[in-house]
Amino acid sequence: MKRQKELVGLDIGTSAIKAVHLQRLRSSYKVAELGIVPIHPETIVDGKITDAEAVSAAIRQLFDQYGIGLKDVAFSVSGHSVIIKKIKVPTMKTAELREGIVWEAEQHIPYSIEDVNLDFQILRQAGPGEQEMDVLLVAVKKDTLDEYLRVISAAGLDAAVVDVDSFAIENAFTMPPRPQSGEITALVNVGAAVTNINILCGGISDFTTDSPLGGNRHTESLQRSLDLSFEQAEALKKGEPVDDHSFAEGESALEIANSELAGEIRRSFDFYYSTSQRETIHRVVLSGGCALLSGLGPYLSQALELPVEVANPFQHIAADPKKFDATYLAGIAPQMTVAVGLALRQTEDEAR
């Protein structure tokens, strides 16, 4: 059998850049290398790279500092430049759909087709007597994609796979493959500037959306409430005392941000209920850098009236305890979810 090509999952976030290389074993995976480096909060704004040189330098630092030798990476994008639509199309073969996807996309994408890169995934083949099948259509604006490709190339790396944050999270969650059931799970990834929501029904994506609300809202709330700098508010948010301020002093400001986030998630869930005819989401899996904020999980559980658990993408992945401290891995696990999902990807030719 041909050995599958390993990739480094490269998550270019708005507050940090994360990378994970997973070594493929016979029937599982092992962490080979991983690392995180912070970046200035204004380096990437609203999904647009504002300082390409700084991003490339951070990527090079990440690979050098943590000894990551592979050059082929999988990266992902999210935000306003990404359009994801679940559509119905006439029953046809995959090759036929690939030829006709541009025409289908023109009916659903609010941008000129010349300005986007398109891809699709058949979610459900037509059943007996059915004339249509379910297809997930994805479009990414070319100018945004080109920005990321340029900084990756400038860092001396090769982009082998491009994904979307929501699907990378799904990839991490569904590894190893779980029995398909009627369970509806909401994967909620709270990053610094964007919250990705991917609702799975029976293990298949049923609804996705991105919200421009993330952990930076907690930081801003602390800044306003206690007159702190961005750096001071970030430290206090993580539980570190700052000057004469304790974490307890900032709890009311954090609760305001928690309430805003819960409201945004609830509106997305309500929209899902109204458009899918589903009546229940069974649980929420919380990931992203904000997943470990003190009290956020319990707050969301109470506000949404749903069980909320914190994601651990390393749960089914081995790690050498001499190289990776278990406590450290547990502490960074939620914010590494996208990178792990990307590292699990294959190049298109190998995935077929």
- Per residue in 217-242, pLDDT tens? 999 999 999 999 999 999 999 888 88
**Mean pLDDT of all residues in the chain?**
91
Indicate the pLDDT class of residue 12, thresholds 50, 70 and 90. Answer: very high
Cβ pair 78, 174 in contact under 8 A? no
Cα–Cα distance between 332 and 314 in angstroms, integer?
10
Q: Which residues pair with 285 in a beta bridge?
A: 187, 309
Indicate the pLDDT class of residue 129, thresholds 50, 70 and 90. Answer: confident
Cα–Cα distance between 225 and 123 in angstroms, integer?
47
Q: Which residues pair with 347 in a beta bridge?
A: none
Domain ranges in the chain are: 179-312
- Per residue in 254-299, pLDDT tens? 999 999 999 999 999 999 999 888 889 999 999 999 998 989 999 9
| Residue 221 burial (C-beta neighbours within 10 Å; 0-12, 13-18, 19+) | buried
Beta strands in the chain (DSSP E): 8-12, 16-24, 29-38, 44-45, 48-49, 72-77, 82-90, 116-124, 132-141, 158-164, 184-190, 195-201, 204-211, 283-287, 308-310, 317-318
**Placement of tokens 């609300």 in the chain:** 213
- Per residue in 40-96, pLDDT tens? 988 998 888 999 999 999 999 999 999 999 999 999 998 888 999 988 888 888 899
Indicate the pLDDT class of residue 352, thresholds 50, 70 and 90. Answer: very low
Indicate the pLDDT class of residue 4, thresholds 50, 70 and 90. Answer: low
pLDDT confidence of residue 319 = 95
Residue 121's SS3 state is: strand
Give the side-chain half-sphere CA count within 13 A for 59.
31
The distance of Cα 348 from the centroid of its chain, to the nearest Å, equals 20
| Domain spanning 179-312, CATH architecture | 2-Layer Sandwich (3.30)
Cα–Cα distance between 35 and 351 in angstroms, integer?
26
Range 26-40 average pLDDT: 93
- Among 2-6, 24-28, 42-46, 62-66, the minimum mean pLDDT is found in 2-6
Cα–Cα distance between 309 and 315 in angstroms, integer?
13
pLDDT confidence of residue 241 = 84
Indicate the pLDDT class of residue 2, thresholds 50, 70 and 90. Answer: very low
In this prediction the pTM is 0.91
Range 153-176 average pLDDT: 94
